Amino acid sequence: MNIHLDSVGCKLNQSEIERFGNRFRLAGHRLVAAAEDSDMVVINTCTVTTSAAADSRSKTRRAHRDNPKAQIVLTGCWSTLAPSHASVMPGVKMVIDNQHKDRLVEMVLGLDEEYFDREPLEREPIPGIRMRTRAFIKAQDGCDNHCTFCLIKVARGASRSIPIMRIISEIESAVQGGAQEAVLTGVQLTGYGRDLQPTIDLRHLVIQILSLSSISRLRLSSLEPWLLPPNFFDLWDDRRMCRHLHLPLQSGSAATLRRMARPITPERYAALLDEARKRIPGLAVTTDIIVGFPGETEAEFDESLTYIQKMNFAGAHVFPYSARKGTAAALLTNKVPQQVARERSRKVREAIEKSSEVYLNQFLGKTLNALWESATALGINGWEVKGLTDNYLRVQATVPQNIWNRITPIRVLAADKGVLHGQLV
């Protein structure tokens, strides 16, 4: 059977899709790059924002339009929270909620779980637009926090940790398949190990990965800043650790953070960034910002904007608040008008663009290591390659030969529209 896999939303969804792909291949099926070539389409949906939920529905409709004969299987947060809506969409044959997602392949194919208790195949990138040199590895699922704007706890349940040796096995499978970088993903990755016996933490997991796996680079996805274990930044003494931390802030106003039920203050967050930057030279810190949260006054927004400007972020995802039914924030009064939220979003984006440019320009004339993620032949002029440095900077170069999926040093010569241009050293 030909199977097309697709995903909306976070890196955790991508890591789950990659695991589905490995299991479908192990069961003898073929992964294809497009829905029109498939017998079955599996879509991992998202509902973190109203836009993500809309994208999930749109992808489902598009898959059926492209191939009315294909069976569509939906899983993920949107289909978990809206199963009656998901199940009646055109072409949908099965909806599998997040609580049963780990057994999706077994349920779809009618196999026993023991079927997969054998030597794993080398991990392969999902074909088509998801062809990657990085492997997204799920280490944790669920969340124990109660942020008032978020549906993820409802959709994914309490925090649950994947056993260390299973994570390392997934990473080694990715290495055998050619991956140069592993990205650890989770809903609340900093909560890793608190549910295990004996209790451990994320630092312990990373130490074991660095000790027992042969991955060339290890990157951590989004980390809630209040659960980082002691001596966490010592991990970056190992040069395989990518110098990039994504630490969601959401607001630089203490009052807004309290209404969001975020268990951190602007002062503690700033101290954390200061410590991280001292311990990890060249570190890129990116974040998430919500503007227009219910009750956000002009004074609170101004406080937040000034704070964001001082933090010198290398980049950020900026979202105007959208109410999500079933969250505590949806019941709050003093809603911020949409046009006001959009204007605040514009101001924050401008601030982030300025700080991102400052961060980028400090690497002019420096030599960085890049993992080349795409290569385009230019005929007699060689190859145009694009990739990412370990501190998450986009780089581009023209080189004499194809160096796709290799890590090489590049000397930065110029910066243009968020991309560094250089030449191989």
* CATH number where 4 lies: 3.40.50.12160
Same domain, 261 and 379: no
Do 111 and 15 belong together in one domain?
Answer: yes
Check pLDDT > 90 for residue 120: no
| Last residue of one domain, picked from the residues 218, 242, 266 | 242
Give residue-wise pLDDT tens across range 1-20.
999 999 987 778 888 888 88
- In a shared domain, residues 253 and 355: yes
Pinpoint the alpha helices (H) of 243-297.
Answer: 254-260, 266-279
Domain boundary among 242, 268, 294: 242
Average pLDDT on 278-286 reads 97
Same domain, 92 and 114: yes
Number of domains in the chain: 4
Same domain, 383 and 260: no
- What are the C-alpha distances in Å from 199 to residues 81, 247, 263, 276? 31, 23, 22, 25
What residues have CB less than 8 Å from 13, skipping those under 6 apart? 7, 44, 46, 76
3-class secondary structure, 415: strand
The residue from 193, 209, 242 where one domain ends is 242
Q: In this model, does residue 401 exceed pLDDT 70?
A: yes
- The arithmetic mean of pLDDT across residues 258-277, rounded, is 97
> How far is Cα 76 from Cα 81, in angstroms, rounded to an integer?
9
**Structure confidence at residue 121 (pLDDT):** 54
- The pLDDT value given to residue 93: 95
Read off the pLDDT band of 157 (50, 70, 90): confident
Cis omega (within 30 of 0) for bond into 198: yes
* pLDDT (average), residues 107-136: 69
Q: What is the pLDDT of residue 131?
A: 46
Q: Are residues 279 and 193 in the same domain?
A: no
Task: Tell whether 314 and 375 lie within a shared domain.
Answer: no
Residue 277 belongs to what domain range? Answer: 249-362
237 in the same domain as 188:
yes
Residue type, 48: V
Residue 119 has pLDDT above 80, yes or no: no
- Segment 226-246 mean pLDDT: 96
Statement to judge: residues 351 and 376 lie in one domain: no
pLDDT reported for residue 21 = 87
7-21, 28-42, 93-107, 281-295: segment of lowest average pLDDT: 7-21
- Do residues 300 and 253 touch, judged by C-beta distance below 8 A? yes
Same domain as 303, residue 346: yes
Res 19: pLDDT = 85
Q: What is the mean pLDDT of the chain?
A: 92
Detail the DSSP E strand segments found in 186-335. Answer: 217-220, 244-246, 284-291, 315-320
209, pLDDT greater than 80 = yes
Task: Determine the average pLDDT of the residues in 302-314.
Answer: 98
Q: What is the pLDDT of residue 130?
A: 42
276-281 average pLDDT score: 97
**What CATH number does the domain containing 379 carry?**
2.40.50
The predicted model gives 389-405 an average pLDDT of 95
Q: Residue 323 belongs to a domain with what CATH number?
A: 3.30.750.200
- Same domain assignment for residues 163 and 83: no
Give the mean model confidence (pLDDT) for residues 136-146.
92
Rounded (10°) angle between helices 202-212 and 164-176: 40
Helix (H, G, I), strand (E, B) or coil at 113: helix
Residues 399 and 293 in one domain: no
Tokens representing 61 are 């409709």
Share of the chain above pLDDT 70, in %: 95
